[in-house]
A = this chain, B = another copy of it.
């Protein structure tokens, strides 16, 4: 994994892939699967929807930091498995054979097997809507990876894998942030 320029980190979330969010509560690591995410700013700032119903939420509230990890199509069974059991009684890194890696800034671990990781701190809780607002601090990408297709949850138990890429850079020149 090499570091990715932070101004590109929003491009990992903007397309709407299912992500894994890791936390460390002071004692142990945990991972949750999250599909309800949104970019809030290029700087980057992200929103995720979560609350008391997720075991990880207590760690987010307490430590105010996490890692957003981007899994790929070959990891779908792990992604679904992580989303259908609880960190209350499961060591998800062990169960799903994932490798926690120390980040530079936060205690929540990067996931070595993922395509990309973003160390984040919580900058706000919008409790009324169960929105957690995250600022990305350091981003990483595994550019040696063969499988780079992410997956998008439909919400009914099916998932769409990334297909072909279309280029509209010329049309969008006025809207693309500098340096991208």
Contacts and interface: CB of A to CB of B under 8 A. Distances in A.
B49 A80 contact: no
Given A16-B17, A49-B39, A165 B155 contact: no
Interface size class of A (residues with CB under 8 A): 35 or more
B131 A40 contact: yes
A37 to B, nearest CB: 6
Contacts of A147: none
Interface of A is mostly: mixed
Contact of A129 (B80, B124, B168, B169): B124
Contacts of A89: none
Contacts of A131: 40, 47, 126, 129, 131
A52 interface: no
Nearest to A126: B126
B158 A160 contact: no
Interface in A20-39: 35-39
Most chain B beta-carbon contacts within 10 A, residue among A38, A128, A151, A155: A155
